[in-house]
Structure 1
Protein backbone atom coordinates (compact mmCIF):
# COMPACT_ATOMS: atom_id res chain seq x y z
CA UNK A 1 0.00 0.00 0.00
CA UNK A 2 1.49 3.38 -0.93
CA UNK A 3 1.87 6.02 1.75
CA UNK A 4 1.22 9.70 1.01
CA UNK A 5 3.76 12.36 1.93
CA UNK A 6 2.47 15.94 1.90
CA UNK A 7 5.15 18.46 0.95
CA UNK A 8 3.26 21.37 2.49
CA UNK A 9 2.93 23.16 5.82
CA UNK A 10 -0.72 24.01 5.14
CA UNK A 11 -2.95 22.88 8.02
CA UNK A 12 -5.99 23.22 5.72
CA UNK A 13 -4.55 20.76 3.19
CA UNK A 14 -3.69 18.32 5.97
CA UNK A 15 -7.19 18.58 7.46
CA UNK A 16 -8.78 18.06 4.05
CA UNK A 17 -6.77 14.90 3.43
CA UNK A 18 -7.48 13.55 6.89
CA UNK A 19 -11.20 14.14 6.49
CA UNK A 20 -10.98 12.12 3.25
CA UNK A 21 -9.49 9.14 5.09
CA UNK A 22 -5.82 9.82 4.31
CA UNK A 23 -3.25 10.43 7.05
CA UNK A 24 -0.12 11.70 5.28
CA UNK A 25 3.35 12.28 6.62
CA UNK A 26 4.05 16.03 6.47
CA UNK A 27 7.48 17.18 5.29
CA UNK A 28 7.72 20.91 4.58
CA UNK A 29 9.53 21.68 1.32
CA UNK A 30 11.03 25.05 2.22
CA UNK A 31 10.79 26.21 -1.41
CA UNK A 32 11.07 29.97 -1.92
CA UNK A 33 7.81 30.78 -3.71
CA UNK A 34 9.26 33.97 -5.19
CA UNK A 35 11.22 31.87 -7.72
CA UNK A 36 8.03 31.66 -9.82
CA UNK A 37 7.30 35.40 -9.79
CA UNK A 38 6.30 36.69 -13.21
CA UNK A 39 4.72 33.49 -14.45
CA UNK A 40 1.03 33.40 -15.43
CA UNK A 41 -1.09 32.31 -12.44
CA UNK A 42 -1.98 28.87 -13.83
CA UNK A 43 1.66 28.07 -14.64
CA UNK A 44 2.91 29.54 -11.35
CA UNK A 45 0.71 27.21 -9.29
CA UNK A 46 1.87 24.14 -11.21
CA UNK A 47 5.57 25.03 -11.22
CA UNK A 48 5.64 25.70 -7.48
CA UNK A 49 3.84 22.39 -6.85
CA UNK A 50 6.48 20.61 -8.93
CA UNK A 51 9.33 22.37 -7.12
CA UNK A 52 7.89 21.49 -3.70
CA UNK A 53 7.47 17.86 -4.68
CA UNK A 54 11.02 17.67 -6.04
CA UNK A 55 12.44 19.31 -2.91
CA UNK A 56 10.98 16.61 -0.67
CA UNK A 57 10.95 13.38 -2.67
CA UNK A 58 14.65 12.59 -2.21
CA UNK A 59 14.89 13.26 1.53
CA UNK A 60 15.91 10.51 3.92
CA UNK A 61 12.78 10.83 6.06
CA UNK A 62 10.50 9.95 3.12
CA UNK A 63 9.30 6.35 3.64
CA UNK A 64 10.22 4.00 0.79
CA UNK A 65 7.48 3.47 -1.76
CA UNK A 66 5.76 6.75 -0.93
CA UNK A 67 3.70 9.04 -3.09
CA UNK A 68 4.98 12.59 -2.56
CA UNK A 69 2.46 15.38 -3.12
CA UNK A 70 3.47 18.96 -3.78
CA UNK A 71 0.72 21.61 -3.91
CA UNK A 72 0.55 25.35 -4.40
CA UNK A 73 -2.40 27.72 -4.71
CA UNK A 74 -2.64 31.11 -6.43
CA UNK A 75 -5.63 33.44 -6.85
CA UNK A 76 -5.97 35.03 -10.28
CA UNK A 77 -7.60 38.46 -10.33
CA UNK A 78 -7.44 40.70 -13.40
CA UNK A 79 -4.79 38.39 -14.83
CA UNK A 80 -2.54 38.89 -11.81
CA UNK A 81 -1.26 36.07 -9.59
CA UNK A 82 -2.00 36.68 -5.92
CA UNK A 83 -0.24 34.43 -3.44
CA UNK A 84 0.09 35.26 0.25
CA UNK A 85 -0.09 39.01 1.02
CA UNK A 86 3.19 40.73 1.85
CA UNK A 87 1.76 42.49 4.92
CA UNK A 88 -1.57 43.67 6.42
CA UNK A 89 -1.68 46.72 4.17
CA UNK A 90 -1.33 44.47 1.12
CA UNK A 91 -4.16 42.27 2.40
CA UNK A 92 -6.43 45.30 2.82
CA UNK A 93 -5.66 46.51 -0.71
CA UNK A 94 -6.43 43.09 -2.13
CA UNK A 95 -9.76 42.80 -0.37
CA UNK A 96 -10.81 46.24 -1.55
CA UNK A 97 -10.04 45.09 -5.10
CA UNK A 98 -11.72 41.67 -4.67
CA UNK A 99 -14.97 42.59 -2.93
CA UNK A 100 -18.12 42.17 -4.96
CA UNK A 101 -16.17 40.39 -7.69
CA UNK A 102 -14.89 36.94 -8.58
CA UNK A 103 -11.44 35.43 -9.02
CA UNK A 104 -10.07 32.06 -10.08
CA UNK A 105 -8.21 29.96 -7.52
CA UNK A 106 -5.60 27.74 -9.20
CA UNK A 107 -4.10 24.85 -7.22
CA UNK A 108 -1.17 23.02 -8.76
CA UNK A 109 -0.67 19.36 -7.82
CA UNK A 110 2.43 17.27 -8.44
CA UNK A 111 2.55 13.62 -7.35
CA UNK A 112 5.71 11.49 -7.55
CA UNK A 113 5.89 7.75 -6.97
CA UNK A 114 9.25 7.22 -5.25
CA UNK A 115 9.17 3.51 -6.10
CA UNK A 116 8.84 3.93 -9.87
CA UNK A 117 10.05 7.50 -10.31
CA UNK A 118 6.92 8.35 -12.26
CA UNK A 119 5.35 11.80 -11.93
CA UNK A 120 1.82 13.02 -12.59
CA UNK A 121 0.94 16.70 -12.39
CA UNK A 122 -2.02 18.96 -13.13
CA UNK A 123 -3.76 22.15 -11.99
CA UNK A 124 -7.36 22.51 -10.84
CA UNK A 125 -9.14 25.86 -11.16
CA UNK A 126 -12.20 27.06 -9.24
CA UNK A 127 -14.06 30.36 -9.59
CA UNK A 128 -14.65 32.11 -6.26
CA UNK A 129 -17.28 34.83 -5.74
CA UNK A 130 -16.61 37.41 -3.02
CA UNK A 131 -19.16 39.36 -0.98
CA UNK A 132 -19.26 43.15 -1.25
CA UNK A 133 -17.74 43.55 2.19
CA UNK A 134 -17.36 46.91 3.93
CA UNK A 135 -14.10 48.63 4.81
CA UNK A 136 -14.83 47.86 8.46
CA UNK A 137 -15.24 44.15 7.73
CA UNK A 138 -12.01 44.11 5.74
CA UNK A 139 -10.10 45.84 8.55
CA UNK A 140 -11.53 43.43 11.14
CA UNK A 141 -10.69 40.38 9.00
CA UNK A 142 -7.14 41.49 8.32
CA UNK A 143 -6.69 42.25 12.04
CA UNK A 144 -7.21 38.53 12.73
CA UNK A 145 -4.09 37.91 10.59
CA UNK A 146 -5.72 34.89 8.95
CA UNK A 147 -5.51 36.43 5.44
CA UNK A 148 -1.74 36.89 5.77
CA UNK A 149 -1.02 33.17 5.65
CA UNK A 150 -3.14 32.02 2.70
CA UNK A 151 -3.10 32.46 -1.07
CA UNK A 152 -5.43 35.20 -2.20
CA UNK A 153 -5.79 36.55 1.36
CA UNK A 154 -8.92 34.52 2.10
CA UNK A 155 -10.16 31.17 3.35
CA UNK A 156 -13.40 29.37 2.58
CA UNK A 157 -13.04 27.04 5.56
CA UNK A 158 -12.16 29.63 8.21
CA UNK A 159 -13.01 33.17 9.25
CA UNK A 160 -13.18 34.24 5.61
CA UNK A 161 -15.96 31.79 4.81
CA UNK A 162 -18.66 34.39 5.41
CA UNK A 163 -17.12 36.60 2.74
CA UNK A 164 -17.33 33.94 -0.01
CA UNK A 165 -20.79 33.95 -1.58
CA UNK A 166 -20.27 31.03 -3.95
CA UNK A 167 -17.90 28.88 -5.97
CA UNK A 168 -17.93 27.21 -9.38
CA UNK A 169 -15.86 24.04 -9.32
CA UNK A 170 -14.30 21.88 -6.64
CA UNK A 171 -14.75 23.25 -3.10
CA UNK A 172 -11.71 21.32 -1.82
CA UNK A 173 -9.54 22.98 -4.43
CA UNK A 174 -10.21 26.35 -2.79
CA UNK A 175 -8.99 24.89 0.51
CA UNK A 176 -5.77 23.92 -1.27
CA UNK A 177 -6.01 20.34 -2.53
CA UNK A 178 -8.50 19.02 -5.08
CA UNK A 179 -9.48 15.53 -3.96
CA UNK A 180 -10.98 14.52 -7.35
CA UNK A 181 -7.84 15.70 -9.17
CA UNK A 182 -5.58 13.97 -6.66
CA UNK A 183 -7.54 10.75 -7.18
CA UNK A 184 -6.95 11.06 -10.93
CA UNK A 185 -3.20 11.50 -10.37
CA UNK A 186 -3.08 8.49 -8.04
CA UNK A 187 -4.83 6.37 -10.68
CA UNK A 188 -2.48 7.70 -13.39
CA UNK A 189 0.46 6.37 -11.38
CA UNK A 190 -1.17 2.93 -11.20
CA UNK A 191 -2.48 2.96 -7.64
CA UNK A 192 -5.98 2.71 -6.19
CA UNK A 193 -7.37 5.77 -4.42
CA UNK A 194 -8.87 3.58 -1.71
CA UNK A 195 -5.43 2.14 -0.93
CA UNK A 196 -4.53 5.52 0.58
CA UNK A 197 -7.31 5.33 3.13
CA UNK A 198 -6.06 4.69 6.64
CA UNK A 199 -7.28 1.49 8.27
CA UNK A 200 -10.46 1.85 10.30
CA UNK A 201 -10.04 0.70 13.90
CA UNK A 202 -12.46 -2.03 15.06
Structure 2
Protein backbone atom coordinates (compact mmCIF):
# COMPACT_ATOMS: atom_id res chain seq x y z
CA UNK A 1 0.00 0.00 0.00
CA UNK A 2 1.41 3.38 -1.02
CA UNK A 3 1.70 6.08 1.66
CA UNK A 4 0.21 9.51 0.95
CA UNK A 5 1.69 12.44 2.85
CA UNK A 6 -0.62 15.44 3.19
CA UNK A 7 1.41 18.65 3.34
CA UNK A 8 -1.37 20.60 5.01
CA UNK A 9 -2.74 21.32 8.48
CA UNK A 10 -6.30 21.58 7.12
CA UNK A 11 -8.70 19.34 9.07
CA UNK A 12 -11.19 19.59 6.18
CA UNK A 13 -8.66 18.18 3.68
CA UNK A 14 -7.76 15.39 6.07
CA UNK A 15 -11.43 14.53 6.66
CA UNK A 16 -12.16 14.54 2.91
CA UNK A 17 -9.33 12.12 2.19
CA UNK A 18 -10.36 9.85 5.05
CA UNK A 19 -13.95 9.76 3.82
CA UNK A 20 -12.59 8.71 0.43
CA UNK A 21 -10.74 5.74 1.94
CA UNK A 22 -7.30 7.32 2.25
CA UNK A 23 -5.45 7.66 5.57
CA UNK A 24 -2.61 10.12 4.93
CA UNK A 25 0.37 10.97 7.09
CA UNK A 26 0.12 14.69 7.92
CA UNK A 27 3.29 16.79 7.80
CA UNK A 28 2.71 20.56 7.89
CA UNK A 29 4.90 22.52 5.49
CA UNK A 30 5.36 25.77 7.41
CA UNK A 31 5.55 27.69 4.11
CA UNK A 32 5.06 31.47 4.40
CA UNK A 33 1.94 32.04 2.31
CA UNK A 34 2.50 35.80 2.07
CA UNK A 35 5.68 35.46 -0.01
CA UNK A 36 3.81 35.27 -3.32
CA UNK A 37 1.42 38.20 -2.90
CA UNK A 38 0.51 39.90 -6.18
CA UNK A 39 0.12 36.82 -8.37
CA UNK A 40 -3.18 36.11 -10.18
CA UNK A 41 -5.42 34.00 -7.91
CA UNK A 42 -5.23 30.67 -9.79
CA UNK A 43 -1.46 30.96 -10.21
CA UNK A 44 -1.04 31.92 -6.56
CA UNK A 45 -2.93 28.83 -5.41
CA UNK A 46 -0.84 26.57 -7.65
CA UNK A 47 2.53 28.02 -6.70
CA UNK A 48 1.77 27.82 -2.99
CA UNK A 49 0.71 24.19 -3.41
CA UNK A 50 3.99 23.47 -5.22
CA UNK A 51 6.02 25.20 -2.50
CA UNK A 52 4.26 23.27 0.28
CA UNK A 53 4.73 19.99 -1.53
CA UNK A 54 8.44 20.63 -2.17
CA UNK A 55 9.07 21.73 1.42
CA UNK A 56 7.56 18.57 2.89
CA UNK A 57 9.06 16.17 0.33
CA UNK A 58 12.53 17.14 1.62
CA UNK A 59 11.75 16.19 5.23
CA UNK A 60 13.51 13.23 6.80
CA UNK A 61 10.25 11.92 8.30
CA UNK A 62 8.64 11.34 4.89
CA UNK A 63 8.38 7.55 4.36
CA UNK A 64 10.45 6.09 1.54
CA UNK A 65 8.50 5.85 -1.70
CA UNK A 66 5.70 8.08 -0.43
CA UNK A 67 3.52 10.40 -2.49
CA UNK A 68 3.37 13.96 -1.15
CA UNK A 69 0.28 16.10 -1.75
CA UNK A 70 0.40 19.88 -1.33
CA UNK A 71 -2.74 22.01 -1.64
CA UNK A 72 -3.61 25.66 -1.27
CA UNK A 73 -6.92 27.46 -1.77
CA UNK A 74 -7.81 31.07 -2.52
CA UNK A 75 -11.11 32.74 -3.35
CA UNK A 76 -11.18 35.01 -6.38
CA UNK A 77 -13.55 37.96 -6.22
CA UNK A 78 -13.27 40.92 -8.60
CA UNK A 79 -9.91 39.56 -9.76
CA UNK A 80 -8.42 39.64 -6.26
CA UNK A 81 -7.17 36.63 -4.31
CA UNK A 82 -8.46 36.09 -0.79
CA UNK A 83 -6.89 33.58 1.56
CA UNK A 84 -7.65 33.46 5.28
CA UNK A 85 -8.89 36.76 6.75
CA UNK A 86 -6.42 38.74 8.87
CA UNK A 87 -8.92 39.13 11.71
CA UNK A 88 -12.64 39.32 12.50
CA UNK A 89 -13.00 42.82 11.07
CA UNK A 90 -11.42 41.67 7.81
CA UNK A 91 -13.82 38.69 7.67
CA UNK A 92 -16.81 41.02 8.13
CA UNK A 93 -15.58 43.30 5.34
CA UNK A 94 -15.14 40.35 3.02
CA UNK A 95 -18.58 38.94 3.66
CA UNK A 96 -20.19 42.32 3.04
CA UNK A 97 -18.41 42.31 -0.34
CA UNK A 98 -19.25 38.64 -1.08
CA UNK A 99 -22.93 38.46 -0.09
CA UNK A 100 -25.34 37.99 -2.95
CA UNK A 101 -22.47 37.57 -5.38
CA UNK A 102 -20.41 34.88 -7.09
CA UNK A 103 -16.75 34.03 -6.61
CA UNK A 104 -14.36 31.34 -7.83
CA UNK A 105 -12.56 29.07 -5.40
CA UNK A 106 -9.17 28.01 -6.77
CA UNK A 107 -7.28 25.13 -5.18
CA UNK A 108 -3.77 24.38 -6.35
CA UNK A 109 -2.71 20.72 -6.15
CA UNK A 110 0.80 19.34 -6.40
CA UNK A 111 1.70 15.65 -6.10
CA UNK A 112 5.32 14.55 -5.84
CA UNK A 113 6.42 10.92 -6.03
CA UNK A 114 9.51 10.77 -3.85
CA UNK A 115 10.73 7.70 -5.73
CA UNK A 116 12.26 9.25 -8.83
CA UNK A 117 11.22 12.76 -7.74
CA UNK A 118 8.38 12.99 -10.25
CA UNK A 119 5.91 15.89 -10.00
CA UNK A 120 2.45 16.67 -11.38
CA UNK A 121 0.49 19.82 -10.57
CA UNK A 122 -2.70 21.62 -11.59
CA UNK A 123 -5.38 23.95 -10.26
CA UNK A 124 -9.07 23.11 -9.84
CA UNK A 125 -11.54 26.01 -9.96
CA UNK A 126 -15.13 25.95 -8.70
CA UNK A 127 -17.72 28.72 -8.99
CA UNK A 128 -19.44 29.54 -5.70
CA UNK A 129 -22.68 31.51 -5.33
CA UNK A 130 -23.17 33.27 -1.99
CA UNK A 131 -26.46 34.06 -0.27
CA UNK A 132 -27.41 37.67 0.39
CA UNK A 133 -26.68 37.71 4.12
CA UNK A 134 -27.88 40.38 6.49
CA UNK A 135 -25.37 42.31 8.61
CA UNK A 136 -26.63 40.37 11.63
CA UNK A 137 -25.98 37.03 9.94
CA UNK A 138 -22.47 38.10 8.95
CA UNK A 139 -21.67 39.25 12.48
CA UNK A 140 -23.02 36.02 13.96
CA UNK A 141 -21.05 33.87 11.53
CA UNK A 142 -17.79 35.73 12.07
CA UNK A 143 -18.32 35.53 15.83
CA UNK A 144 -18.14 31.71 15.60
CA UNK A 145 -14.52 32.01 14.51
CA UNK A 146 -14.97 29.60 11.61
CA UNK A 147 -14.40 32.16 8.82
CA UNK A 148 -11.02 33.11 10.32
CA UNK A 149 -9.63 29.60 9.77
CA UNK A 150 -10.36 29.13 6.06
CA UNK A 151 -9.54 30.60 2.67
CA UNK A 152 -12.24 32.96 1.45
CA UNK A 153 -13.72 33.24 4.98
CA UNK A 154 -16.33 30.53 4.36
CA UNK A 155 -16.89 26.80 4.44
CA UNK A 156 -19.35 24.67 2.49
CA UNK A 157 -19.04 21.70 4.84
CA UNK A 158 -19.52 23.56 8.12
CA UNK A 159 -21.47 26.49 9.55
CA UNK A 160 -21.01 28.41 6.31
CA UNK A 161 -22.89 25.81 4.28
CA UNK A 162 -26.19 27.65 4.78
CA UNK A 163 -24.70 30.73 3.12
CA UNK A 164 -23.68 29.02 -0.14
CA UNK A 165 -26.63 28.86 -2.52
CA UNK A 166 -24.95 26.97 -5.34
CA UNK A 167 -21.73 25.49 -6.68
CA UNK A 168 -20.61 24.89 -10.27
CA UNK A 169 -17.83 22.33 -10.32
CA UNK A 170 -16.28 19.96 -7.82
CA UNK A 171 -17.76 20.25 -4.32
CA UNK A 172 -14.67 18.67 -2.73
CA UNK A 173 -12.51 21.35 -4.29
CA UNK A 174 -14.35 23.98 -2.23
CA UNK A 175 -13.73 21.90 0.89
CA UNK A 176 -10.03 22.03 0.03
CA UNK A 177 -8.98 19.06 -2.11
CA UNK A 178 -10.37 17.92 -5.46
CA UNK A 179 -10.42 14.14 -5.35
CA UNK A 180 -10.92 13.74 -9.13
CA UNK A 181 -7.95 16.04 -9.80
CA UNK A 182 -5.72 14.19 -7.34
CA UNK A 183 -6.64 10.95 -9.11
CA UNK A 184 -5.69 12.52 -12.48
CA UNK A 185 -2.36 13.81 -11.14
CA UNK A 186 -1.54 10.39 -9.72
CA UNK A 187 -2.31 8.86 -13.10
CA UNK A 188 0.12 11.30 -14.76
CA UNK A 189 2.81 9.96 -12.44
CA UNK A 190 1.91 6.35 -13.21
CA UNK A 191 0.38 5.89 -9.76
CA UNK A 192 -3.04 4.51 -8.85
CA UNK A 193 -5.65 6.23 -6.67
CA UNK A 194 -7.01 2.87 -5.53
CA UNK A 195 -3.56 1.90 -4.20
CA UNK A 196 -4.02 4.65 -1.60
CA UNK A 197 -7.14 3.06 -0.16
CA UNK A 198 -6.60 1.67 3.31
CA UNK A 199 -6.80 -2.06 3.76
CA UNK A 200 -10.12 -1.84 5.64
CA UNK A 201 -11.92 -0.54 2.52
CA UNK A 202 -14.23 -3.28 1.24
CA UNK A 203 -13.18 -4.19 -2.30
TM-score (norm: length of structure 1): 0.99
- Distance of 1:117 and 1:196 partners within structure 2: 18
Would you say 1:8 and 2:8 are equivalent positions?
Answer: yes
Would you say 1:82 and 2:79 are equivalent positions?
Answer: no
Partner of 1:58: 58
Partner of 1:143: 143
- Distance of 1:23 and 1:117 partners within structure 2: 22
Measured after TM superposition, the shift of residue 116 of structure 1 is 1.4
Measured after TM superposition, the shift of residue 185 of structure 1 is 0.5
Contact kept? 2:75, 2:104, Cα under 8 Å: yes
CA-based RMSD? 0.9
Contact kept? 2:21, 2:201, Cα under 8 Å: no
Query: Aligned residue pairs: how many?
Result: 202
- Distance of 1:192 and 1:86 partners within structure 2: 39
Measured after TM superposition, the shift of residue 201 of structure 1 is 7.0
Partner of 1:161: 161
Alignment gaps of 5+ in structure 2? none
After superposition, the C-alpha distances for 1:126-184 in whole angstroms (9 at most, x for unaligned) are 00000001000000000001000100000000000000001000000000000000000
Alignment gaps of 5+ in structure 1? none
Contact kept? 2:85, 2:153, Cα under 8 Å: yes
Partner of 1:131: 131
Partner of 2:32: 32
- Distance of 2:192 and 2:201 partners within structure 1: 21
Large movers: runs of 4+ above 6 Å: none
Measured after TM superposition, the shift of residue 200 of structure 1 is 1.2
Measured after TM superposition, the shift of residue 193 of structure 1 is 1.0
